[in-house]
Amino acid sequence: MKNMATLDVEEMIARFRERADAVKRRPLPPVAGEERKHFIQQAETDFRDFAMIGDAEASLEDGILTLRVDLRPEDQRG
């Protein structure tokens, strides 16, 4: 990115949360068999990826964007 000063990391993370929600609401197209299985698997992968980034804590320091994702179970988080 050319102008990192204009990057709002909280806004970016919010967009990923919105994308995760959109994947959850995505209707299943009229497909069957292997195509249906592939569509469902892709939706699960998309949701997981978007949700993970949506849960991240972000920092932007010296032009380096760091996303911190706590993958520990809820009861083990500090």
pLDDT of residue 1: 47
Contact of 4 with 60, CB cutoff 8 Å = yes
Give residue-wise pLDDT tens across range 16-54.
999 999 999 999 888 899 999 999 999 999 999 999 999
pLDDT of residue 78: 73
Arithmetic mean of pLDDT, 1-11: 72
pLDDT of residue 49: 95
Contact of 27 with 35, CB cutoff 8 Å = no
Contact of 69 with 21, CB cutoff 8 Å = no
Domain count, the chain: 1
Residue 11 lies inside a defined structural domain of this protein = yes
Residue 78 lies inside a defined structural domain of this protein = no
Residue 34 lies inside a defined structural domain of this protein = yes
Residue 24 lies inside a defined structural domain of this protein = yes
Residue 75 lies inside a defined structural domain of this protein = no
pLDDT of residue 6: 78
